[in-house]
Structure 1
C-alpha cells in the first residue's frame, strides 16, 4: 500500500494542453475521488497515474518511487475500467487468475489468492460460471477481483458503475466502500456522479478544464466551497444561484422582486455584481400576493418533493419540501431563508466572498 503524489503534472496532445500542472497528494490508504463534468480531464489524469497516458511534464510518484516514465505493468497499480473486459470463454476463477498465470505465479498461490478475493467479493458460488451467466454487478465484481489478486499498491477505478442500472449502482457503491474498509488499500476513483463522490470518498478532487478547483473531504466541499463551480457541482439538487448587486450594505436580488438580502460576510463596494447561493433544503416558501415568484413544477419523490419556482427574471429556484404540501400553484410566493445559509460569489471571478 502506497500513496500517490503528482507534482506539476501536465498532459499535452500536440499543441493542445489538457492537464495543467496538477499538484496533488493522496495519502496511503486514502479513498480519493476525481470528480467533474465530462471533458474535465479526470480520466486522463487517472490514466497518467496508471501509465496508460504519457506524462508530458512533471512528476508522478507512487510511494517513494518516481514512476513518471515507468511501464504500466511495473507501477504496482491495478485498474478497473468502465467495461468489464472479461474473457467470455473463461470461468470467473480463470478470469480472476489469468494475469497471475501469465506472470508465472504457481498454481497453488493463484488458487489461494482467487479464493481470498472471491470471499471478499462474495463470488464463491460463481467461480465455475462464465461471464454470460452473471449479472452486470457480478461481472463488475469479477473485474474488481481480478485487480485484487494482483495485490497492487494502488487501485484505480475509471467510472466502474456507469454501465449499471440505478439499483445495481447503489449496491456496487456499497460493495466498493466495504472493499476499501476491508483491505485498506489506496484507491483513486473517477466519476462524473457527485453522489458517488460524496458517499465513497475520504478526499474529493474537483476538476474543471484540466485544473483542480478544490480538494477536500465531502463535507468540507459541501459546506465550504471555494467558488461557484464547486458549490454548484457538489450537492443534489444543485445549489440555487440568483444574480444580485451590492447596494447599501445589502444585496438586491431582482429575481426576488428586488428584495434586499442581508449578507453573512463583508461586502465589496456598491455596484459589485454577485451570485446569491442558496441550497434547496435551506429554503421554504409562504404565500405573498405581492410576489412575482410562482410554482412551475413539483417533483414528488415519496418522502421528499422538489418545487421548481419561476421568477420574473427567468432564473430557476428549487425548494426542497419534506413532509408538507409545499408551494401552492398560481399563488405569489415569498422565499424564507436564514442569513447564515446564504453564500455569496463574485459574479466576475466566481470566487466565494468570505
Structure 2
C-alpha cells in the first residue's frame, strides 16, 4: 500500500478556479476523509487523484511516483462511487471478478481473489445472487468487493453511503472501518456528513471553497479548531455562536452579559468585535428566566433544548433533563469560560 501526496494542486473549469493550490500528505495506511459543504471541491479533488479529472496545475504522487498525467488505470487506485454500478444480469461473484476477467487474469486467480474479498466483506452466502436480490447495503459491499479484488495501492470512496437509509449508513460505516483495520489500506473518503468523518477517519481534511481550512485527527479538530468555520462544521449539534465586543478586558454580550476571555493568552484590544463559540454540552441549564425554550428534542438519555437569548440569538443546549417538547418555558443558562472559544468577528480566525 502507498501514500498520496498533493503539491500545489489546482483545478480550473474555464475561468473559474474550484481548487486552489492544495498541499496535502496522506500517509501509507491512513484513513483520510475529505469533508465540507456541497461545492467545496472535495469530490473534484478525489477525481483528480483518481485521474478522472485533469489537474490544471500542481503534482499528484502515489507511492512516491508522479501520476499527475498518468491514465486512471495506471495509478493503482480503485474507486467506489455513490451509485453501485453493478451489472444486473451478473451474479455477485461475476460482478466482483469482471474487471480481472477483462484484464486477462487466470480463472483460478480470479476465483481466489473473489473468495478472499467475499470473506472480508461477509458476502460468501450471496455470491450466486444477482443485484436485484440484494439490499442497498449488500450492493454497496459488492461494489467495495469489486475494488478489493483489484489489489489497489489506494482506495477512493466518493460519498458511498449517500443512497442508504440511516440504519444502513451506521452499519456500513462500521463495515468500512472494519475493512480498513483488516487490510490496512490507504483510503481516501469523501463525505459532506461530519458524523461519518468523525467516526471513521484517522485524519480529516476540512475543505471550503476549494481550499483546506484545517487538517487533523477528528478530536483535534473538535477540541482545537483554527477558525469559526471548522468550529461550526465539526461537531453535532453544531457549535453555538454569540456576538460580543471587548470592553474593559472582558467580552460584553447581549446574551450573557460580561464574559471573561479565559482561554485567550494575549489581552484583546478594546472595542474589538468577537464571537464566542460554545459547544451544546458546555452550556448548563440553571434556575432563572433569562432564556426562552423554543422547543426540546427529548432523545432518551439526552435532550437538546433550542433556546432564544434576550439578544435574539438562538442556542442549542445539551442536557439530561426532559423538557416540554413544545417549549415555552423560561430557564437560565451558564457555562465555564474555560470551555469557550473566541473568534475574530471579521476574519473568523481563532483568538488564542
TM class, shorter-length: over 0.9
Q: Where does residue 283 of structure 1 map in the other structure? A: 283
TM-score (norm 1): 0.97
Are 2:137 and 1:140 equivalent residues in the alignment? no
Q: Where does residue 312 of structure 2 map in the other structure? A: 314
Which secondary structure does the structure 2 equivalent of 1:325 belong to? Answer: coil
Which of 327-336 and 92-101 deviates more? 327-336
Which secondary structure does the structure 2 equivalent of 1:49 belong to? Answer: helix
Runs of 4+ aligned structure 1 residues displaced above 2 Å come to 324-334
In the TM superposition, what is the alpha-carbon distance from 1:268 to its structure 2 partner? 1.9
Q: Distance in 1 between matches of 2:149 and 2:253?
A: 58
Which secondary structure does the structure 2 equivalent of 1:320 belong to? Answer: strand
Whether the aligned pair in 1 keeps the contact of 2:278 and 2:341 (CA below 8 Å) is yes
Which secondary structure does the structure 2 equivalent of 1:255 belong to? Answer: coil
Q: Where does residue 4 of structure 1 map in the other structure? A: 4
Structure 1: give runs of 5+ residues left out of the alignment.
none
Which secondary structure does the structure 1 equivalent of 2:40 belong to? Answer: coil
Are 2:43 and 1:46 equivalent residues in the alignment? no
Whether the aligned pair in 2 keeps the contact of 1:287 and 1:331 (CA below 8 Å) is no
In the TM superposition, what is the alpha-carbon distance from 1:286 to its structure 2 partner? 1.4
Q: Distance in 1 between matches of 2:282 and 2:309?
A: 18
Q: Distance in 2 between matches of 1:330 and 1:36?
A: 35
Deviations 1:260-313 (Å, cap 9, x if unpaired)?
011121342111110100000111121224x2x211100111111100001233
Q: Where does residue 156 of structure 1 map in the other structure? A: 156
In the TM superposition, what is the alpha-carbon distance from 1:314 to its structure 2 partner? 2.2
Aligned-residue Cα RMSD (Å) equals 1.2
Q: Distance in 2 between matches of 1:267 and 1:346?
A: 13
In the TM superposition, what is the alpha-carbon distance from 1:22 to its structure 2 partner? 0.1
Q: Distance in 1 between matches of 2:274 and 2:77?
A: 45
* 1:242-281 → structure 2 map (5 Å cutoff): 242-256=242-256, 259-264=257-262, 265=264, 266-281=266-281
In the TM superposition, what is the alpha-carbon distance from 1:335 to its structure 2 partner? 1.4
1:336 to 334, 337, 344: 334
Q: Distance in 2 between matches of 1:92 and 1:279?
A: 46
Q: Distance in 1 between matches of 2:240 and 2:175?
A: 33
Q: Where does residue 196 of structure 1 map in the other structure? A: 196
Q: Distance in 1 between matches of 2:337 and 2:254?
A: 18
Q: Where does residue 127 of structure 1 map in the other structure? A: 127
In the TM superposition, what is the alpha-carbon distance from 1:340 to its structure 2 partner? 1.0
Q: Distance in 1 between matches of 2:209 and 2:187?
A: 23
* 1:1-354 → structure 2 map (5 Å cutoff): 1-256=1-256, 259-264=257-262, 265=264, 266-289=266-289, 291=290, 293-322=291-320, 324-325=321-322, 330-354=328-352
Structure 2: give runs of 5+ residues left out of the alignment.
none
Deviations 1:90-123 (Å, cap 9, x if unpaired)?
0000000000000000000000000000000000
Deviations 1:170-229 (Å, cap 9, x if unpaired)?
000000000000000000000000000000000000000000000000010000000000
TM-score (norm 2): 0.97
Q: Distance in 2 between matches of 1:47 and 1:255?
A: 45
Which secondary structure does the structure 1 equivalent of 2:281 belong to? Answer: helix
In the TM superposition, what is the alpha-carbon distance from 1:331 to its structure 2 partner? 4.7
